[in-house]
Amino acid sequence: MMFEFSFLFGQFLGGLTAAMFLFLIASGLSLIFGVLRVLNFAHGSFYMIGAYLAWQFVRSIAPTPEGFWLAALAAALSIALLGGILERALLRHLYSREELYQLLFTYALVLILGDMAKLAWGTQQLSVSRPPSLAGSSEVFGVTIPHYNMFIMLLGPLIAIGFWYILQRTALGRIVRAAALDRETLGALGANVGWVYTGMFMVGSFLAGLGGALVTPIKSIVPGMDVDIIVEAFIVVVIGGLGSFWGTFLGALIYGQVLSFGILVFPRFSIFAVSVLMAAILIVRPWGLLGRPLK
Amino acid sequence: MTRIPWTLVVFIAGLAVPFLGSRFYTFVASDIVIVSLFAMSLNLLLGYTGLVSFGHAAYFGIGAYTCALLMKSANVPFLPSLLAAGLMAGAFALLFGFFCVRLTRIYFAMLTLAFAQIVWAICFKWNDVTGGEQGLPNVPYPDMAWMSAAPILGNFRVGDQFYLSALIIVALCFAALRRIVDSPFGRVLTVIRDNPERAQFIGVNVRAYQLAAFVVAGFFAGISGGLFGIFNRGVFPDFAFWTKSAEPLIMTILGGMGSFWGPAVGAAAFIVLNQQITSFTEYWPLTMGTVLIVLLFVFPGGIAGTLTGLLARLRAGPKPANAPASTPQMVKPNA
């Protein structure tokens, strides 16, 4: 089996773009899990609503050519606000209960938000056009790459580095890391743990909303994208290691490439290849590639 | 005061459903009977062993595909196919459970979910065997010639006859589950649920017991899936999708996981509610999600838990007139 270099490079870039989207979404899931220890099924719903809101805002508040950027930011911020309200009003009261209640609560949100999106935006496919500033494309090594995809490929690492800096090098990051390790001790030291949790839930939700908003120029918005993306994000964080930030980045890269090249090797089995990879990792290193072993 | 044998009463009421002569009632009753086995099998893990599995649909799906494939493609009779469905699901539960029981709490839930997604991916993509996205339509009804030859049963439609077989099979499974939870084995499971460390101290091999419970739960989920595939007249990859795993959890919470029959009550309530709501709105998930949130925050004990709580309060008799219902100011220690 021989392939042209430019073809393989094209596959690689396709995988990379998919990986950076997944990273945006999965990093939010992983941050929330790392600090709150809640597996948020509604994360995929936040992503979907973020996409719908971006479409809505492009039409209503920002119908100018470059209004997409404003709309995407507004959508992501609205999702952060939604996340904050839900955490403050409801989820917070379940931290002391068993995991089952938290899981079912976030699942109930999936059901409710999914139907609310149908009520608000119907079931037809919606799409958003690329902002004019990034509508062009360039040829690199014989592969045509849309500028928008290049922007996504750059945005992923930028967000990763930004988060790494905040988490590892700032006082705020120290508090967040402490909250992930030992909530009670942090509280005893005088930090307002409740608001740290709310803040992290909002940041995670923001990333989901941003991912949803930014994906709209590439993928059309359809009902059901919520339950599909959450599974992909879930696989990414399991491969990389739950709660591990760089693990999520690595997991997304691997997922993107396995999916992209898996199609060449087993045309029908690329989803299967990713699942098998996840199973293999869970069996050998249940805590993921870069995660810490669990007690 | 003699106790009313409720189990028997419900079973006989169940047997009487086909005599109502309504296709609709038989349909709803079949759904309840089959799905309640799914929920009850999960509760062996959830309520009795304290394991939150978010991938129980895997075993339901494996059972459904096994039974449907054997009956449709290999012409194997109904009962051996159904038994094979349970055994196949149990075998996969053994394989997956071996890795799952090594993890605790939320990580256990995630690994079960991960394995279920693998099962789903296989069902979804392996077109040659599972029919891929299209699933396996037209799963045949079992051959019920003996029932048609019987005096009264012969007049029933095939759907009613299948319902009766399913009812009897599920009743036998419930009897088996009851025996299991009342056995010394079942007692050890509840010890593990209440305090795994202490169970370890007294010499219980916690993982082996958890794995055994996982396999038994998988077996019964497989039986339930096998029956459901026939009832549904088709088997589809959605049977193993992660959202399907949430359904028995919701039913269990709805009915109450603290009692043996809770999940069955929850399954019945879930299905009746579904029938009622979908008859006037398509927004069933929205309704279910709202009901679920109210349950989680207001009635965490579910229907069974709330009813037993009410009964206990009624039995205790009315409170003395002077004492308020609750006296927090007396209970609270001086802070």
**Which of B104, B106, B115 has the CB atom closest to A37's CB atom?**
B106
Q: Of A40, A100, A227, A283, which to mutate for an interface test with B (greatest number of B Cβ within 10 Å)?
A: A100
Amino acid at B1: M
pLDDT of B333 reads 36
pLDDT of B56 reads 93
Contacts of B124 in chain A (CB under 8 A): 271
Contacts of A105 in chain B (CB under 8 A): 292-293, 296
Distance CA B246, CA B46 (A): 12
Per residue in B24-35, pLDDT (tens digit) is 888 888 899 999
pLDDT of B330 reads 35
Per residue in B313-323, pLDDT (tens digit) is 888 765 554 44
Question: Which candidate, A44, A54, A41, A37, places its Cα nearest to that of A22?
Answer: A44
Cβ contact, residue pair A104, B253, below 8 Å: yes
* A-B C-beta contacts closer than 8 Å: 116
pLDDT mean across residues, chain A = 86
Instruction: Please compute the mean of the pLDDT values over residues A175-201 and round it to a whole number.
Output: 84
pLDDT mean across residues, chain B = 83
pLDDT of B227 reads 93
Q: Is B105 on the interface with A (CB under 8 A)?
A: yes
Cβ contact, residue pair A276, B243, below 8 Å: no
Is residue A21 within 8 Å of residue A274, measured between CB atoms? no
Contacts of B242 in chain A (CB under 8 A): 227, 231
Closest-CA residue of B relative to A241 is B107
Per residue in A128-170, pLDDT (tens digit) is 888 888 888 888 887 888 888 889 999 989 998 998 888 888 8
Per residue in A260-291, pLDDT (tens digit) is 887 777 766 666 778 778 878 877 787 788 87
pLDDT at A76 over 80: yes
Q: Where are the domains of chain A?
A: 17-120+146-284
Per residue in A44-63, pLDDT (tens digit) is 999 999 999 999 998 888 77
Q: Residue B302: exposed, middle, or buried by beta-carbon count in 10 A (0-12, 13-18, 19+)? A: buried
pLDDT of A268 reads 65
Cβ contact, residue pair B111, A286, below 8 Å: yes
As a dihedral over the C-alpha atoms of residue B260, residue B264, residue B265, residue B270, rounded to 10 degrees, the angle is: 140
HSE, side-chain direction, 13 A CA sphere, residue A271: 18
Per residue in A82-91, pLDDT (tens digit) is 999 999 998 8
Amino acid at B41: S
**Which of A104, A234, A286 has the CB atom closest to B250's CB atom?**
A104
Minimum distance, in Å, between the CA of residue B194 and any CA atom of chain A = 13
Per residue in A98-139, pLDDT (tens digit) is 888 888 899 999 999 999 999 999 888 998 888 888 888 888
Distance CA A69, CA A78 (A): 14
Instruction: Please compute the mean of the pLDDT values over residues A161-183 and round it to a whole number.
Output: 84
**Which of B110, B288, B296 has the CB atom closest to A111's CB atom?**
B288
Cβ contact, residue pair B122, A111, below 8 Å: no
pLDDT level of residue A72 (50, 70, 90 thresholds): very high
ipTM of the complex as predicted:
0.83
Q: Where are the domains of chain B?
A: 6-241
Q: Of A92, A102, A112, which to mutate for an interface test with B (greatest number of B Cβ within 10 Å)?
A: A112
Cβ contact, residue pair B99, A115, below 8 Å: no
Q: What is the DSSP string of B118-147?
A: HHHHHHHH-HHHH-GGG-EE-PPPP--HHH
pLDDT of B331 reads 35
Task: State the Rg of chain B over Cα.
Answer: 21
Closest-CA residue of B relative to A226 is B243
Cβ contact, residue pair A110, B289, below 8 Å: yes
Cβ contact, residue pair B115, A279, below 8 Å: yes
Q: Please, what are the averages of pLDDT over each run of 10 residues along chain B (335 residues)?
A: 75 79 84 93 90 91 92 84 93 91 81 87 80 78 73 74 88 92 90 88 89 94 93 87 88 84 89 86 86 85 80 71 40 35
